[in-house]
Amino acid sequence: MERELNFTIGLSIARVSAILVEPPRARWLYVMAHGAGAGMRHPFLERMSAELAKREVGTFRYQFPYMQAGEGRPDPPPVLEATVQAAVSTAGRLIFGVPLLAGGKSLGGRMTSQIAAHEFLPGVRGLVFLGFPLHAPKRPSDKRAIHLEQVPLPMLFLQGTRDALADLSLLRPVCERLAPSTTLHVVEGGDHSFKVLKRSGRTEAQVFDELADTIVEWADALLRPAARRISRP
């Protein structure tokens, strides 16, 4: 089942749209933010929602205020973070009792990790990043990862080997420092949007299957009694 709704950010920052995709027997609800240049209706997010729904994972996709207003430049980080916080709170009320994942594509994932580094996100059991933007294109750096040390939640990074916004030689050490509560899953041949070259022999459907299966397997492992919990100060 898919339905559209609206929610308010803070007391009066903005009112934005969202889409809830709720499978009949949802085991998880993934609060999934969009990237900098495309909103919640981007084909990648729609396909990702559909694949997760097949695996009994619901999704809550939402707009940031600048995208809702049709503007090209992202809002300041405090507004983006407040939007994530409001989205998580709203999603948690929609499907009561279902554990939450939070994160999203590129900018949306990074803003989720930034708010999680200094604010409690009720109901969220882990963060899932679909192409974490570690740095700007051709400007390798790991400064954007500094705040991750303060995130008290398990994290899953899904990254393509051709991602121009995440040099794996920089991201791997970051994830190793955050282990064992952090997992890096590398999609061979994928770019920042997880597109692979034709000569790879892989289809788009195979890549989406890999992404969705990885998310579900990782999330389900969080609920096992033996799952390790690491809380960093």
Q: How many domains does the chain have?
A: 1
Segments forming the whole domain that contains residue 99: 2-222
CATH number at residue 123: 3.40.50.1820
131 falls within a domain: yes
State what percent of residues in the chain have pLDDT above 90: 89
Q: What is the pLDDT of residues 85-125, one digit of tens each?
A: 999 999 999 988 899 999 999 999 999 999 999 999 999 99
Look at residues 110, 84, 98, 97 and name the one whose alpha carbon lies nearest to residue 31: 84
209 falls within a domain: yes
Q: Is pLDDT above 70 for 45?
A: yes
Average pLDDT over residues 25-30: 96
Question: What SS3 class is residue 54?
Answer: helix
Residue 125: Cβ within 10 Å count? 17
List beta partners, residue 155.
Answer: 127, 182
pTM: 0.94
Strands 14-21 and 2-9: antiparallel
What's CA 202's distance to the chain center, in Å? 24
Average pLDDT over residues 29-53: 97
Q: What DSSP line would sit under 73-129, residue for residue?
A: SPPPHHHHHHHHHHHHHHHHHHSTT--EEEEEETHHHHHHHHHHTTS--TTEEEEEE
Q: What is the pLDDT of residues 199-222, one digit of tens each?
A: 888 999 999 999 999 999 999 999
Distance CA 190, CA 163 (A): 7
232 falls within a domain: no
Distance CA 175, CA 112 (A): 17
List beta partners, residue 128.
Answer: 103, 156
Q: Which helix (H) or strand (E) holds 8?
A: strand 2-9
State what percent of residues in the chain have pLDDT above 70: 96
pLDDT at residue 225, as a whole number: 67
DSSP state of 213: H
